[in-house]
Chain A
Amino acid sequence: MGTGEYSYNSKVEGNVVLTQLDSAIAWIRKNSLWPMPMGLACCAIEMMAAACSRFDIARFGAEVMRFSPRQADLLIVSGTVTYKMALAVKRIYDQMPSPKWVIAMGACASTGGMYRSYAVLQGIDRLLPVDVYISGCPPRPEALLDGLMKLQSKIERTASTRGIFRAAPA
């Protein structure tokens, strides 16, 4: 259900595409992700490069970087999360409206990276649910775009109306 099933039937007149509601919603969501850039270290430089003309994250519909969590649905944690910063990241995540997703960009955000230290959170997944991890130190912009495409295919498989239209128990 809802795995990107769109079909064009030439026997139906006009510009009509038949699909399922879940597929349509997923298609809309995956192509209009609004990222909240959580730039904490050098990964943020690569994230900025991904947003600029050479790599152009707009090709994947995620160019509307919002610096307010209330207007964003994708948190890109790019950089080293210290314990001092961890609660601020959590608070920003909590302020984002659902549905929302998290990308842990780079070694530090995924696992603490080279910072086996008293000061660094050993992976943002100890605090937030992470959808996509991107390896690299820092990852190149292509890797971020690849992670974004992975997230898009995950969103595409989400059946968002399943809970709403379930038949009432007899």
Chain B
Amino acid sequence: MNRQNLKARLDAEFPGLVEMPPEFRGETTLVVGNAGRLPEVLRFLERECAFDYLIDISGVDHMNETPRFELVYELYSYGASQHLRAKARVPEESAEVPSACDIWPTANWHEREIFDMMGIRFAGHPDLRRILMWDGYPHHPLRKDFPLEGLPCETPDGHFTQAAPMDGGPFVTRPAELAHQREPRSKSPL
């Protein structure tokens, strides 16, 4: 299915909901205007357009923008050997979107990871628990306002975390003429 064809079918099914930015490096992206209706669009893509494989779901934190979060669904069609990306912005104050678990069962763990790391909730998820950090951990570590070294915490089950000593880090490499000048160094001017 080519781009124009796909866009026409989506416009007929969801008038005014889905935008299609210009093709970039052979990749097609859809931007869904309303994250609450994302699963409808995804279900349509799965049922009617044969995107039978959900490769990945990513969460993006656009700090200091509104809406703050963004979800990125990477789809693939085995029959047509085509990739497709669908994006939707999620506002911070109502960071909850409908789950895609009943469309692709593999969405289960992807959504748990996004819930764990970003704090976006998925309505209708069968088992929305943390997947990397333990249950009861109070933070969402991949949010931009979470410090890299972590925050000290203690939970009643005995788990704890401490802030890691950064010692002037994080250490980054900078472009330079000589190899020894490209060694990782502290970001702060010393």
Q: Chain A residues in contact with chain B, CB under 8 A?
A: 83-84, 86-87, 112, 115-120, 122, 126
Q: Chain B residues in contact with chain A, CB under 8 A?
A: 132-134, 139, 141, 146-151, 158-167, 169-170
Cβ-closest chain A residue relative to B167: A116
Asked, given contacts A84-B133, A84-B134, whether A118 binds B165 with beta carbons under 8 Å apart, the answer is no
Bound Cα distance from A126 to B134, whole angstroms: 19
Asked, given contacts A84-B133, A112-B164, whether A118 binds B159 with beta carbons under 8 Å apart, the answer is no
| Closest chain B CB from A107 CB (angstroms) | 14
The 9 closest A-B pairs by CB, nearest first: A118-B150, A116-B164, A83-B161, A84-B134, A118-B141, A122-B164, A87-B158, A116-B169, A116-B166
Asked, given contacts A83-B160, A84-B159, whether A119 binds B165 with beta carbons under 8 Å apart, the answer is no
Bound Cα distance from A112 to B133, whole angstroms: 17
| Closest chain B CB from A48 CB (angstroms) | 26
Are A117's CB and B162's CB within 8 A?
Answer: no
> In this complex, which of A83, A112, A118, A122 has the most chain B Cβ atoms within 10 angstroms of its Cβ?
A118
Are B134's CB and A118's CB within 8 A?
Answer: no
Chain A positions within 8 Å of B160 at CB level: 83, 86
Chain A positions within 8 Å of B163 at CB level: 118
Are A118's CB and B158's CB within 8 A?
Answer: no
7 contacts between A and B (CB under 8 A): A116-B165, A117-B148, A117-B164, A118-B146, A118-B148, A119-B132, A126-B162
Chain B positions within 8 Å of A122 at CB level: 162, 164-165
